[in-house]
Amino acid sequence: MTILPIQIYGEPVLHHVAEPVGEITDEIRTLVADMFETMDAAPGVGLAAPQIGVNKRLFVYSWENNEGEELRGVAIDPVLWLAPSVPESFEETDEDEEEGCLSFPGERFELRRSPAVLMRARDLDGNAYELEAEGWFARILQHEYDHLDGVIYIDRLPVPLWKTAQKIMRKQRWGVPGVSWTPGVDHLEG
């Protein structure tokens, strides 16, 4: 397995809708193993194929819930449905609303998300599965799914936070093609 470079905001593959995976080949299986290795080394709770420069609709995730149960898997060609309502303000929610992204490393911003989702996807054996998620796990799935549609979480920020993110991007010299970092190799200041 290989730890792959993670693309930073501005790389074109991050800003386009990814293509369906279709047939699950040995190449896809190797890609998924490398994505898990990269996500774990970062460390992160999710990683989408566009983040490592691959324009395919798949992501990996790994998160431990409050009961100590590890939720780890791959979503190939997923479809995601959101709960009917999103809180109108941060005060309406009980949980941490801050989010970060390996493609905008070292930064965290508050972002409202749907409190629950339903996802249908395929696993590495091509078997279809359905997953219901709430709370932080729902946030992870929404975040990674956004990557497959060419959306990075800072694109969803309200204007004051979006402006702050833009200032950070200019200071870091992000927002242009060709910028990446490799977990375990590059040290990024956040």
Residue 143 annotated as binding site? yes
187 assigned binding-site residue: no
| Active site amino acids | 144
147 assigned to a ligand binding site: yes
3-state SS string for the chain: CCCCCEECCCCHHHHCCCECCCCCCHHHHHHHHHHHHHHHHCCCCEEEHHHHCCCECEEEEEEECCCCCEEEEEEEEEEEEECCCCCCCHHHCCCCCEEEECCEEEEEEECCCCCEEEEEEECCCCCEEEEEEEHHHHHHHHHHHHHHCCCCHHHHCCHHHHHHHHHHHHHHCCCCCCCEECCCCCCCCC
Residues annotated as binding site? 101, 143, 147
Binding residues for Fe cation: 101, 143, 147
